[in-house]
Amino acid sequence: LPSASERMLKGYATRCFARASRGHSLRLFSGLSVPPPTRLGWRPIRKLLAANRGEIAIRIFRAATELDIKTVAIYSKEDFGSLHRYKADESFLVGVGKSPVGAYLSAEEIVDLAHKQGVDAIHPGYGFLSENTRFVELCEQAGIAFVGPPSKVIHRFGDKTEARMLAEEFSVPVVPGTKHAVTSIEGAREFCNECGFPVIIKAAFGGGGRGMRIVREKDELEENFLRASSEALTAFGD
């Protein structure tokens, strides 16, 4: 079965245009065949960059290949021999001098590379820059399609505290939680003293389970808070 990433790409990249006229049957045109633009600035996806690594990138490339879309991989120096690099039509080194994870968080460099290589769209996969508002804005400014929500939606949902406030704004039931990001262990203790245990520490940004810890007792709070903060900084740069 295709993954959610593959389904999203296929749904985004494939467009069908129908035309019916008197005495003629319905005709379907694939979005890859150069149909007339549906809106100003629209262009079909011919070349796609996956801003991710490993299995995630490979799944994206497989879906793109099935749609006859050229693929571009990025890799850190540590991933020189990674399989995803060889599954793409083209591959480029990014993040020279940065950590293995930091290379994949180089938003400006990745978008600049995509622009220079004639990339039409960037698929973020999940984790890394997938919920980074600035990255999506850079794509929009460069005229590169971001396979995912627009920046204004990412801003509201990429930041979990913003998403929570939005839910409350529309009277969606939510469990007790902090109104804003907690940046100190003292702030975490204050909330726990008020609401009790167990609690979940969750990174305000990012996804994929990174930066998340369950705390069942008071003695576990500080260690898990520091671990979750460190993991979030490493994985999402925040």
Condensed to tens digits (0 to 9), the pLDDT of residues 48-90 reads 999 999 999 999 999 999 999 999 999 999 999 999 999 999 9
Spatial separation of the C-alpha atoms in residues 139 and 154, rounded to whole Å: 13
Dig out the tokens for 98 from the structure: 């940065």
Residue type, position 74, single letter: I
Between CA 106 and CA 128 the distance in angstroms is: 10
Each residue's pLDDT tens digit, 187-198: 999 999 999 999
What CA–CA distance (Å, rounded) separates 62 from 58? 6
Tokens of 234: 């490493």
Burial class (CB in 10 A: 0-12, 13-18, 19+), 114: buried
What is the Cβ-side half-sphere exposure of residue 104, based on CA atoms within 13 angstroms? 27
Residue with tokens 């070349």: 47
Q: How many CB atoms lie within 10 A of CB 186?
A: 8
Tens-binned pLDDT, residue by residue, of the chain (238 aa): 556 555 556 555 544 333 333 333 333 334 444 444 445 567 789 999 999 999 999 999 999 999 999 999 999 999 999 999 999 999 999 999 999 999 999 999 999 999 999 999 999 998 899 989 999 999 999 999 999 999 998 888 877 888 888 899 999 999 888 888 888 999 999 999 999 999 999 887 766 666 788 999 999 999 999 988 888 777 666 6
- Token pair listed for 27: 């005709």
